[in-house]
Amino acid sequence: MKDRGYYKKFGGAYLPEMLVSTFDELVEIFQTAKNDPGFWEEYVDIMSTYSCRPTPITFAQNLTRHFGGARIYVKREDLNHTGAHKANNVIGQGLLVKRMGKTRVIAETGAGQHGVATATMAARFGFKCTIYMGEVDVQRQRPNVFWMERLGAEVITVTEGTRILKDAINESFRDWVTHMDTTHYVLGTACGPHPFPEMVSYFQSIIGQEARKQILDQAGGLPDRIYACVGGGSNALGIFNAFLDDPVDLVGVEAGGEGLETGRHASRLSSKDASVGVAQGYKTYFLQDNDGQMRETHSVAAGLDYVGVSPILAQYAETGRIRFEAATDREVMDALSLTIQKEGLIPALESAHAFAQALKEAPAMTPKDIILINQSGRGDKDIFTIADAFADPKWQAFIKEKAEGYHA
Amino acid sequence: MLESYLDNRLKQKEILLMTHIVLGYPTFEDAFKIIESMVNAGVDLMELQIPFSEPIADGPVILHANQKALAKGATVKKCVDFAKTVAETFEIPFLFMSYYNILFKYGVERFVDTMAENGLQGAIVPDLPPEEGKDYLEAMDKHRLSPILIFSPSTSDERMNYLGAFGRGFIYCVARKGVTGVDTDFSRQLENYLVRCRKATDLPLALGFGVKERADIDFLKGKADIAVIGSETIRLVDKEGVGAVEAFIKTLR
């Protein structure tokens, strides 16, 4: 590996020796595909016939009227097959797996969206599939576990460490280091060792390519601000990429959890709690203690509940090109509720972070201003968490009844 | 220096024994007793692992030892101080083993300076390939400490030559794919791999991952210079307690 994937001081490839040759192969296959114009065409073709690309942009007229500030538009990644932007990355990597001639894929998942997308791709392309998911996330995203298993994937519950996304990533690496001859690790976000940050953002850049054209057509100009939630950072990089050279304020929204001041959050770039470190094969800001031990993170959204962040985003945080903010669990629930009622849109808890920040800022802007929110996924998977948050009595009665039915 | 120690030792023994412990596991006091037992039983050198929250190259046994040590309050400072005492107390060479973030957060140069002051002789950092480890390698070189480089069965001959040029002390040859603490097939294939390793470097070869009994070590005689026992002693301590260590190590020769 000659180019080691550095973005200023962030990124790199801190690999155990056993995986070096696997990464060399991956870098080569990715570079060859990238230089082959037929590859992107094939990718776009599958995404438009198997998934729902191009996904539309929706003018959120009721939210716009409600706040009386900026005009609000929403990029609808929730309309992808499997319900999130994750499909973009997964189908892209699936095409590379075919080129490499491997027969099995593995993936980590937090919210379960990446796991479902990977299991779907594996079913479609005929690969064996194993998904690693932290025990905490298995509990809070049960519907997605059900679908992964129906799709033929083996779902392994990870009981190590903090039992969330980072621990699922560690277990995926342990599987990969054992089975790399037959197996590709479909990392779900723009993190990890080179070439993953570059490769995942390359496939996700389809979001921004579409969105830039659509917003110019529909709104008659570039947006003033774009909002995207940031867990690992793949949906944010996907939409931001096309606007980096434009005079557009790019806003990444991290999980504020119970509030930055409580320490119970997953904000790496918008809080002062993170520092530069090296883990999971790359260098970036991590939520860690002074010894370099990773800390427990917290978010209502499993997909944002992660200790690290894309090295590409860490770079833009340092240069100031992207502004980072945090939305708390409470703010997210309120934004979610309002969006459902006003627009009939059900964003995933992850995506609702982008809405929360946008809705905080929109009132202070004018109707001349345009804002664009990336709705990275749909919220169906969150039915249990959202029902709990609203303490919905009819839902609780239904669940009790259902449980009794199983005892019968 | 580590290399001359190993050379001398290899003149007396057909194969040397390196063992591994996780610092602070089960406790620092027990770790000290384990080291004492190992030295008494004739271990030639030891790896002292500073626990890390994300040990991706380690299997369940060492992973749990890392987690439990951290949960009981093992800090880098305690590990470093403990290692100093150990190096002063026992005659054999001690190496640090940890993941790069531990060195990075401590400050790479400061970490290596501390190693030198505390009498450690080298370090194994499994997630730091030489391409990313320029500062580390320079600092180790300055103090004449041994950075232990790693070969794996998936390492090409060309890359073995490249890695060998940075290695000091000995080369750690990973026996097979996968993580620590899983059985290894001691086979012809392993022998061929060790022949490939031997061609690539003049340094002594240590073979680790899945070594757990006398038969494994007998197989390695004449093929490798150092047998590495890692997860097996931790497994034994978990099952039978600290007192079982000395007798176990003695069965290996």
* Residue A405, domain member (yes or no): no
Q: Do B174 and A17 touch (CB under 8 A)?
A: yes
Task: Quote the minimal CA–CA distance from A106 to chain B in Å.
Answer: 15
| Residue A197 in tokens | 């940050």
- Do A135 and A79 fall within a single domain? no
Helices within A74-134 (DSSP H only): 86-100, 113-125
- Do A270 and A326 fall within a single domain? yes
What whole-number distance in Å separates Cα of residue A201 and Cα of residue A189? 8
Peptide bond into A195 cis (omega under 30): yes
- Do A134 and A163 fall within a single domain? yes
Contact (CB, 8 A) for A202 and A26: no
Phi, psi of A80 (to 5 degrees): -60, 155
Q: Do B105 and A22 touch (CB under 8 A)?
A: no
Half-sphere exposure of residue B150, counting CA atoms within 13 Å on the CB side?
24
Residue among A170, A180, A181 minimizing CB distance to B56: A170
Cα separation of the two ends of chain A? 60
Nearest CA in chain A to B60: A160
Tell me which of A154, A174, A196 is where a domain ends.
A196
The residue among B3, B42, B37, B22 whose CA lies nearest residue B181 is B22
The total domain count for chain A is 2
Q: Is the dihedral of CA A246, A199, A120, A116 positive or negative?
A: negative
Percent of chain B topping pLDDT 90: 92
Q: How confident is the model over B94-127, as pLDDT tens digits? A: 999 999 999 999 999 999 999 999 999 999 999 9
- Do A72 and A216 fall within a single domain? yes
* Residue labelled with tokens 């400490």: B145
**Cβ neighbours of residue A394 under 8 Å, at least 6 residues apart?**
none
Three-state secondary-structure class, residue B98: coil
- CA distance to A143, A319, B7, B12, B245, per residue, from B92 (Å): 56, 50, 14, 15, 17
- Do A16 and A73 fall within a single domain? no
The residue among A201, A166, A171 whose CA lies nearest residue A89 is A201
Burial A72-108, CB ≥16 within 10 A → b, else e: bbbbbbbbbbbbbbbbbbbbbbbbbbeeeebebbbbb
* Residue A402, domain member (yes or no): no
Q: Do A279 and B129 touch (CB under 8 A)?
A: no
Q: Which residues of chain A have a pLDDT value below 50?
A: none
Nearest CA in chain B to A23: B154
- Do A144 and A33 fall within a single domain? yes
* Residue A347, domain member (yes or no): yes
Which residues of chain A are within 8 Å of residue B101 when distances are taken between CB atoms?
Answer: 277-279, 286, 288, 292
Residue among B52, B106, B152 minimizing CB distance to A17: B152
Q: Is the dihedral of CA A376, A382, A383, A385 positive or negative?
A: negative
- Do A91 and A117 fall within a single domain? yes
* Residue A403, domain member (yes or no): no
Interface of B with A (CB under 8 A): 52-54, 56-57, 59-60, 63, 67, 70, 75-76, 99-102, 104-106, 126-129, 131-132, 150-156, 159, 163, 174, 177-179, 182
- Do A379 and A342 fall within a single domain? yes
Helices within chain B (DSSP H only): 2-12, 28-40, 60-71, 76-89, 100-106, 108-117, 134-142, 157-166, 188-200, 214-220, 231-240, 245-251
Q: Which fold has domain B2-247?
A: TIM Barrel (3.20.20)
Three-state secondary-structure class, residue A221: coil
ipTM of the complex: 0.95
CATH number at residue A12: 3.40.50.1100
**Domain residues of chain B, as ranges?**
2-247
* Residue A211, domain member (yes or no): yes
Predicted pLDDT at B38? 97
The residue among B178, B171, B175 whose CA lies nearest residue B190 is B175
Predicted pLDDT at A408? 63
* Residue A374, domain member (yes or no): yes
Three-state secondary-structure class, residue A273: coil
Which residues of chain A are within 8 Å of residue B161 when distances are taken between CB atoms?
Answer: none
* Residue A399, domain member (yes or no): no
- Do A17 and A39 fall within a single domain? yes
pTM as predicted: 0.96
Q: Do A4 and B131 touch (CB under 8 A)?
A: yes
Confidence class of residue B183 from pLDDT cuts 50, 70 and 90?
confident
Contact (CB, 8 A) for A59 and A218: yes
What whole-number distance in Å separates Cα of residue B163 and Cα of residue A17? 10
Predicted pLDDT at A11? 98
- Do A372 and A225 fall within a single domain? yes
The residue among A229, A167, A208, A203 whose CA lies nearest residue A92 is A203
Domain that holds residue A257: 52-83+206-388
- Do A261 and A289 fall within a single domain? yes
Q: Do A13 and B178 touch (CB under 8 A)?
A: no
Which residues of chain B are within 8 Å of residue A20 when distances are taken between CB atoms?
Answer: 129, 152, 154-155, 159
